Structure 1
Amino acid sequence: MIEAVGLTKRYGDKTAVYNLSFQVRPGSVTGFLGPNGSGKSTTMRMILGLDQPTSGRVTIGGFPYRKLPNAPRQVGALLDAKAVHGGRHARNHLLCLAQLSGIPARRVDEVLGVVGLQDVARKRSKGFSLGMGQRLGIAAALLGDPQVLLFDEPVNGLDPEGILWVRNLMKALAAEGRTVFVSSHLMSEMALTADHLIVIGRGQLLSDMSVRDFISTNSADFARVRTPDTEPQQREKLTASLTEAGGQVLPEQDGALRVMGLPLHRISDLAHSADVRLWELSPHQASLEEAYMRMTQGAVDYRSTVDQRAGLQQPLPPGAQPPVQMPVPGQGQPGWYAPPPPQQGGQPPFAAPGQPGPPAGPYGAPGGPGGAPAGDHANPYAQPAAPQQAPAAPAAPALTKPEDAR
């Protein structure tokens, strides 16, 4: 299990991660989400001991990274697939890592087969495509058969078959009881892969809950109802009946009705009682992408002015109020922890999360290649978004540049 408590990282007077606390438990795939510059890569580097926290602590199986016994055999990581000596063959690269960690050479051939690179094992990695480099990085992470795995954008550059393979691999590793922590910007893939989500924005915790609860909390479910187009009086009769029963009814552009606040069976019963024929009665639930966009819309640093003028920003559900400050859904749930507001002129307060999970055995340090995180590159046609106004909320700590806090 990975546990962070009050984790903070500052670069001079800039704060990349502030008072971040969460737990990553074994047996499930935990997605790590957040906009560019939110501090995801910095957090992962602190977990692996590559960066030292300014304050707070992070442990793996109860031990800080630097004090883990037999580290490379217990934790595998993929942070930067390009952190490979381009002149080495793929097999030699893995063989060097295995020898440094006391891993048998036969394991190198095993992981090459797992990631599908056995036919190019004798080729130099500098000639690899982006997807092949990702597979080599995943092989390095799996080399020590670790119990804890961290992946930063593992499907970057992979084709559809490769993406499906990574998805199945993550699920299989979690099903074996391993701790799997995955950072990604592909919401559709996270919806299919992750069981639990940790979302951060501007270095602070936004959400820590299951994927299903995250979507439900940050979206408005509704039913889509359609009556015969040639009988508008039936549409009006149904609208009156649903409104009287406590539902919220809004017209759609194509003539259908959007109904909120009533379950499907209740809508069907009301239509039957009103003697109204239905051409359509279907449920709608927001996708993970929609819920994520609504959750993080106040934590995006770079937003295209063209999109704003064109009205392409993700709309809020009908009747919902736009957030004035970063929400923290999940309050009161087991394991939930909200950081206190930043304090001026001193170290942030330090508090532990609620009830900790069951103790885990000693895990280890990364067996895969490390390296500094690749910087985030903002769209050259984008401009920083206007600062969000949050009444009665203290100013959030300043952030590092995107290349320092991703």
Structure 2
Amino acid sequence: MIEAVGLTKRYGDKTAVYNLSFQVRPGSVTGFLGPNGSGKSTTMRMILGLDNPTSGQVTIGGHPYRRLPNAPRQVGALLDAKAVHGGRSARNHLLSLAQLSGIPARRVDEVLGVVGLQDVAKKRSKGFSLGMGQRLGIAAALLGDPQVLLFDEPVNGLDPEGILWVRNLMKALAAEGRTVFVSSHLMSEMALTADHLIVIGRGQLLADMSVTDFISANSADFARVRTPDTEPQLREKLGAALTGAGGHVLPEQDGALRVMGLPLPRISDLAHEAGVRLWELSPHQASLEEAYMRMTQGAVDYRSTIDQKAGLQQPLPPGAEPPMPVPGQGQPGWYAPPPPQQGGQPFAMPAGGPGAPAGPYGGAPAGAYGAPGAPAGQGAPGANPYAQPAPQAPAAQPPAPQGQAPAAPPAPAAAPTATPDASSPAADTNQPEDAR
């Protein structure tokens, strides 16, 4: 098990991780999510002893990584698939790692077979594609048959067959009782692979819960309703009936209605009472991507002005904000941490309290409509003819002159970076690499 308690890391006046506490338990795949620059890579480097935390601690099986006896046989990791000497063959690369850790040479051929590189085992790694390099990095992580595994973007560069293989591998490893910690930006893949999620933003914990609970807490389901296209008056009549019954109705671009706050049976009954024929009445459950975008939209450092113009950050209707539990803080409603303060000061914290596999690495991959709301990432659907007009908010700034685009927000100052040697701990004086 991996356990972090009060983990904090500062590089000069930049706070990369602040007061981060979580547990990664064995027997399940734990996804590690967050925007670019949120501190994911820094956190994984501290877990593996490549960076020293400024304060707090992180342990594996109750011990810091550097105090683990023969750590490569207990912990396997893939952080950078390019950290390979290009002049060495795949087999010689793994053989050198095995000899350093006292692992039998026969294990090298085993893991080459597991990752499918047995036919190119004698080829130099500098000629490998990105996907082949990923497979070689996964083979190195599996070399010691460890109980704890960390993977940073393991499907990067893989084709669909390779992605499916990695997904099955992760699930099989977890089913054997191992601790599997996976960082990825592919929300669709995390939804199929992970059982539990740890989400961070600007170095702080945003969520620590199951995938199902995460989606439920950070999104709201809705129903799509469609009436005959040749009878637009029926659409207006149904919209008025649904709004009068307490539903929130939004028109969609294809002519359908998005209905929130009413269960499907109630929508059907209201349509029947109003004498409206329905061509479609279907449920919609938010995806992991939609829920993730909603939670992290306030923790994104780099945002295109085009996204803002398209209304991708449009808030939910009044009263439709779903609660977002933040473990250890007990804050109702949505919360995103503020940007780090200058001078090495920590973030300002909110008020409140804190099937069995066929082989050792094989195996097969394993709403109620009551809460109003809408998933994030949806473009502006248009004006709602059924809602009462809302009071106008004061303009934050005067409009730009005609023909002139609004000024883009100022870009954050670029921090100098240093690339530490992948084979040794990084010095704390270095600036952090771009966290993925």
Q: Deviations over 1:43-85 (max 9, x none)?
A: 0000011111000011111111122223211110000001111
**Does the aligned pair in 1 maintain the 2:201–2:337 contact within 8 Å?**
no
For the Cα contact (< 8 Å) 2:215–2:286, is it kept in 1? yes
Distance 1:133 1:319 in 2: 49
Q: 1:84 and 1:208, CA in 2 relative to 1: closer, same or farther beyond 3 A?
A: same
CA contact (8 A) 2:107 2:143 kept: yes
| Alpha carbons of structure 1 residues 71 and 44: separation in structure 2 relative to 1, 3 Å | same
**1:283-298 correspondence runs (5 A):** 283-298=283-298
Tell me: CA distance 1:268–1:254, structure 2 relative to 1, closer, same or farther (3 Å): same
Shift of residue 318 of structure 1? Answer: 7.8
Secondary structure of residue in 1 paired with 2:240: helix
Alpha carbons of structure 1 residues 213 and 102: separation in structure 2 relative to 1, 3 Å: same
- Whether 2:328 is the aligned partner of 1:361: answer no
1:159–1:376 CA distance, 2 compared to 1 (3 A): farther
Measure, in 1, the Cα distance between the counterparts of 2:119 and 2:245.
66
TM-aligned CA deviation for residue 230 of structure 1 = 3.0
SS at match of 1:298: helix
Structure 1 residues 58, 375: closer, same or farther in 2, change over 3 A?
A: farther
d(CA) in 2 for partners of 1:85 and 1:380?
64
- Greater alpha carbon shift after TM alignment, 386-395 vs 145-154: 386-395
**Structure 2 contact 75–149 (Cα < 8 Å) conserved:** yes
Q: Does the C-alpha gap of structure 1 residues 294 and 7 become closer, same or farther in structure 2, counting only changes over 3 Å?
A: same
Contact preservation (8 Å) 2:312, 2:379: no
How much has 1:228 moved relative to structure 2? 2.0
Question: Are 2:313 and 2:376, in contact at CA under 8 Å, matched by a contact in 1?
Answer: no
Contact persistence 2:45–2:51 (CA under 8 A): yes
Distance 1:304 1:64, change over 3 A: same
Q: How far is the alpha carbon of 1:236 from its aligned partner?
A: 3.6
Identify the residue that residue 395 of structure 1 maps to in structure 2. Answer: 410
Closer, same or farther in 2 for the Cα pair 1:99/1:371, shift >3 Å? farther
1:248 touches 1:260 (CA, 8 Å); kept in 2?
Answer: yes
CA contact (8 A) 2:219 2:322 kept: no
Residues 346/10 of structure 1: CA separation in 2 closer, same or farther (3 Å cut): closer
Following superposition, the deviation at residue 312 of structure 1 comes to 5.5
Please give the TM-score of this superposition, normalised by the length of structure 1.
0.79
Moved more, 187-196 or 137-146: 187-196
Cα displacement (A) at 1:34: 1.0
- 1:104, distance to aligned residue in structure 2 (A): 1.2
SS at match of 1:303: coil
After TM superposition, give the deviation of residue 102 of structure 1 in Å. Answer: 1.3
Task: Please say which of residues 37-46 and 255-264 is displaced more in the overlay.
Answer: 255-264
Q: Judging changes above 3 Å, is the alpha-carbon distance between structure 1 residues 330 and 163 closer, same or farther for their aligned structure 2 residues?
A: farther
Contact map agreement 2:77 2:151 (CA 8 A) in 1: yes
Q: Structure 1's 189 and 375: CA in aligned 2 closer, same or farther, altered over 3 A?
A: closer
**What is the deviation of 1:403?**
2.7
> Could you tell me whether the CA contact under 8 Å between 2:290 and 2:377 is conserved in 1?
no
From the superposition, tell whether residues 334 and 311 of structure 1 become closer, same or farther in structure 2 (CA, over 3 Å).
closer
CA distance in 2, matches of 1:259, 1:47: 45
In the TM superposition, residue 110 of structure 1 has moved relative to its aligned partner by 0.6
Q: CA deviation at 1:7?
A: 0.1
**Residue 293 of structure 1: CA displacement?**
1.7
When residues 404 and 131 of structure 1 are mapped into structure 2, their CA distance, relative to the original with a 3 A threshold, is closer
Aligned equivalents of 1:31, 1:263: Cα separation in 2: 32
Distance 1:337 1:30, change over 3 A: farther
Shift of the 66–365 alpha-carbon distance from structure 1 to 2, 3 Å rule, reads farther
Compute the RMSD of aligned alpha carbons: 9.8
Distance 2:312 2:209 in 1: 28
CA distance in 2 between counterparts of 1:380 and 1:261 reads 17
* 1:90 Cα deviation after fit: 0.6
What SS class does the counterpart of residue 133 from structure 2 fall into? helix
- The separation in 1 between residues aligned to 2:122 and 2:226, in whole angstroms, is 62
Contact in 2 for aligned 1:76/1:368 (Cα 8 Å)? no
- In 2, the alpha carbon distance for the partners of 1:49 and 1:328 equals 28
Alignment partner for residue 333 of structure 1, among 331, 334, 345? 331
Residues 128-182 of structure 1, C-alpha deviations (whole Å, 9 max, x = no match): 1111110000000001111110000101111111111111111111111111111
Change (3 A) 1:351 1:342: closer
Question: Aligned pairs, how many?
Answer: 400
How far apart are 1:360 and its partner, in Å? 25
Q: 1:375 to 1:178 in 2, by over 3 A?
A: farther
Q: 1:368 to 1:106 in 2, by over 3 A?
A: farther
Q: Which moved further from structure 2: 349-358 or 45-54?
A: 349-358
Gaps of 5+ in 2: 389-397, 413-430
The alpha carbon displacement at 1:277 in A equals 1.9
Q: Distance in 2 between matches of 1:51 and 1:335?
A: 34
Alpha-carbon separation, structure 2, partners of 1:68 and 1:269: 64
1:110-137 CA-to-partner distances (Å, cap 9, x unmatched) read 1000000000001111111111110000
The yes-or-no answer on 1:269 pairing with 2:269 is yes
Contact 2:325/2:333, CA 8 A, preserved across alignment: no
Contact 1:224/1:283 (<8 A) preserved: yes
Query: Is the CA contact 2:196–2:210 (under 8 Å) kept in the aligned structure 1?
Result: yes
Whole-Å separation in 1 of the counterparts to 2:74 and 2:62: 13
Q: Which has the higher contact order (CA 8 A, sep 6+)?
A: 1
Q: Secondary structure at the match of 1:132?
A: helix
Percent identity at matched positions? 92
**CA spacing shift, 1:88–1:68, aligned 2, 3 Å:** same
Q: CA deviation at 1:253?
A: 2.7
CA distance in 2, matches of 1:203, 1:255: 42
> 2:285 touches 2:367 (CA, 8 Å); kept in 1?
no
Which piece of structure 1 moves more, 217-226 or 367-376? 367-376
Confirm or deny: 8 A CA contact 1:300 1:385 kept in the other structure.
Answer: no
Q: 1:372 to 1:63 in 2, by over 3 A?
A: farther
Answer with 260-269 or 110-119: which moved more. 260-269
The 3 A distance-change label for structure 1 pair 344 and 367 is: farther
- Cα pair distance change 1:336/1:390, threshold 3 Å: farther
